[in-house]
Amino acid sequence: MSSESRIVRPFRSTPLDKVLNSTSVLFGDQVCEADAGITVADPESFARRSGQIVWAPESEFEDFKRALVLGASDLDVEPSALGLLAVASTSYIKRSEIVYHRPLSELDDLQRVTSITDGQRPVPFRTGFHGATLEVYVLLLRQVEKRPLRPWRKGTWISRAKFRIDVEKGAALFRPIPLDDEARERLGLPSGAVRYVDLDDHDVLAPFEDSEPPRFYIDADLLNRLGAHQNSPAARAIQAQLAQDFIAAVVHRAAGEAQLDTHAWEDVESSLLGRVLRFTAGSGASRDDRQLLLKQVKDNAERTLARTEHAIDVRKALIDSLEADS
């Protein structure tokens, strides 16, 4: 008896069901097939490599586009009501980001190979320590007429492919834990507390590789809703702010450590603080850049956190959230 799990959906079969089966991701010189994964040797390589979605093999690309159009016709919806969407996420700082979006009414301009790292590199592909997941969808961009056994709600996906890019020896920065009433009482927190970073057992300057990630308590109801709506603009804004909150706790803890004055970059490179600063500095930063950032933690922690806001792109996440409601 097979133990393989299958997704059962309350819709009839359409030509779109398997349209993404031949889609792949080219990450540097490695190819990741749909619903599979690859492993990159080190965080630096991960943060530098280019990423591209290959929608179909060259000999099948025109058939791929025709299948998308046929799928819209089969569902009896306008091509503009359906779209291609790619969302990248990382468990390193618990962040997701839309990296590609195109309605099927614009397929004439679709290139067979689409870059997802050109320009400002998406946050999930900057982290370098725990890899990233890319999910590609064909989905409804707006609500359509409700019919039996047919998708009709905005955001419902019709086809999906998942790509996992891991990094050897990767580790998440923190472990989210539901903050319920029992946890609040145990931690001595008020009933309205939404988040709490527990660094009590962590030396943020010590090597982090073999350590359990710190516990980051997040309101249980909020955590459940983030999971249910993780790709919404509001959820992405909250994820960005939570990542910033966690990093702020690490930076402020490090700034209060007396021995920080005597540490060089090499002393903290493998620590929790080192991972935070590597992410903040960016993949192209030199050793001297990181050393200056380390010194800044002690001299002006808030300026360091302003750099982190830039790296996470909190501003864009917040503005996108507000514009989605307008």
Closest CA to 214 of 172, 258, 184, 174: 174
Query: Is 16:158 a contact under the CB 8 Å cutoff?
Result: yes
Say what angle helices 301-312 and 272-281 make with each other, to 10 degrees. 60
> Domains in the chain, ordered, with CATH?
24-167 (2.60.40), 175-324 (no CATH)
What average pLDDT does this structure show over 265-287?
Answer: 88
What average pLDDT does this structure show over 140-169?
Answer: 90
Could you tell me the CA-to-CA distances from 245 to 62, 124, 208, 281, 315 in Å, in that order?
A: 46, 17, 19, 18, 14
**Interatomic CA distance for residues 130 and 240, integer angstroms:** 17
Mean pLDDT taken over the chain: 89
Q: Which amino acid is at 193?
A: A
What average pLDDT does this structure show over 269-273?
Answer: 91
Q: What pTM did the predictor assign? A: 0.63
Tens-digit pLDDT profile for residues 60-78:
999 999 999 999 999 999 9
Structure tokens at 246: 């966690």
Q: Is the pLDDT of residue 210 over 90?
A: no
Say what angle helices 220-228 and 233-255 make with each other, to 10 degrees. 130
Q: Taking the CB of residue 284, how many other CB atoms lie within 10 A of it?
A: 9
φ and ψ at 175, to 5 degrees?
-115, 110
